[in-house]
Amino acid sequence: MAAVAPMVLGMAGAGAGTAAADTVIDTISVGDVPFGVAVSPDGSRAYVTNIGGDSVSVIDTGTNSVVDTIGVGDGPFGVAVSPDGSRVYTANSQGDSVSVINTGTNAVIDTVGVGSFPIGVAVTPDGSHVYVTNVSSDNVSVIETAGNSVADTVAAGDGPNGVAVSPDGSRVYVSNAGSASVSVVETAGNTVVDTVSVGVSPQFVAVSPDGFRVYVANQSDDSVSVISTFTNTVVDTVAAGDGPNGVAVSPDGSRVYVTNVGDDSVSVIATLGNNVVETIPVGGSPAGVAFNPDGSRAYVVNPDDDTVSVIAVEKCLGSLCIDFGSLTGSGSGAGSMFS
């Protein structure tokens, strides 16, 4: 890891004194073929699924080191953390199951059978339910967390993979890779209330913190669809890199990070204007991406390298920018000044 340098403040566009753009400050070796990543609510841990190793790497975000490895089901892809941080859920693609991890002991405490080839997983804001996309079953399993059992199954489009829940918990958005669409699920009745056409082979999906927008990475046409949740229509399409896959929205809603499998990069989209403002080189074939709660760090999983790239995020308040890339050893709390 690089030595700690003084924090740099600068005016946007002001020349040599301007804070640097988003920067990779560390690279962490994890398990075999990592794919998904989720960060704990307090920002102290990042959980990475390793498809080839049937495991989850637990990263201490303060030191950017792996502090534990947890054996889970066969071929874990997606991963999500409960809102209270007590549980981690992994979608085990080749085991047709979800592993439930107790974060206090870093041990699997339950395994829930779901549909065929589960990929995506998301937890509702109240922690009561987990939604799991089943690619080969063309449906979504709804797990009740109180008993860790499937309480409902929702028919989706062709090849559902990505899934995200709205901040108020009223809607779930499911990307369907085979039908170039997003299913909008009403959680009150677990029914599909709308279907939105998006780009070709949509992969993963994220909702803005205010719940107004949904962002969908369309792998086969190198774009990101921007959906208005008021009208359930695509209001913009943003050109990304080669083969966009993972997508995450910053906690302040100002940026969207999109991983590009084909060119080993992350496209940074400014949500005001929906344009790419930065492209960040990362590791091989980047997949999952997640922010820490204060937005000072982003974690990008690189399956080809068996690594995680740690990005220090530049954050701005008007024309005043703070470069978190200079705080290379500061861990998850570096961004509190402008959170």
Q: What is the mean pLDDT of the chain?
A: 89
76, two tokens: 């874990």
CA 194, 200, 205, 206: dihedral to nearest 10 degrees? -90
Longest dimension (CA), the chain: 58
- Split at pLDDT 50, 70, 90, the class of 319 is very low
Out of 214-218, 274-278, 324-328, which region has the weakest mean confidence (pLDDT)? 324-328
- Split at pLDDT 50, 70, 90, the class of 9 is very low
- Split at pLDDT 50, 70, 90, the class of 315 is low
Whether the Cβ atoms of residue 18 and residue 322 lie closer than 8 Å to each other:
no
Q: Which tens digits make up the pLDDT trace of 206-261?
A: 999 999 999 999 999 999 999 999 999 999 999 999 999 999 999 999 999 999 99
Out of 71-80, 144-153, 311-320, which region has the weakest mean confidence (pLDDT)? 311-320
Residue 123, amino acid: V
Q: What is the pTM of this model?
A: 0.89
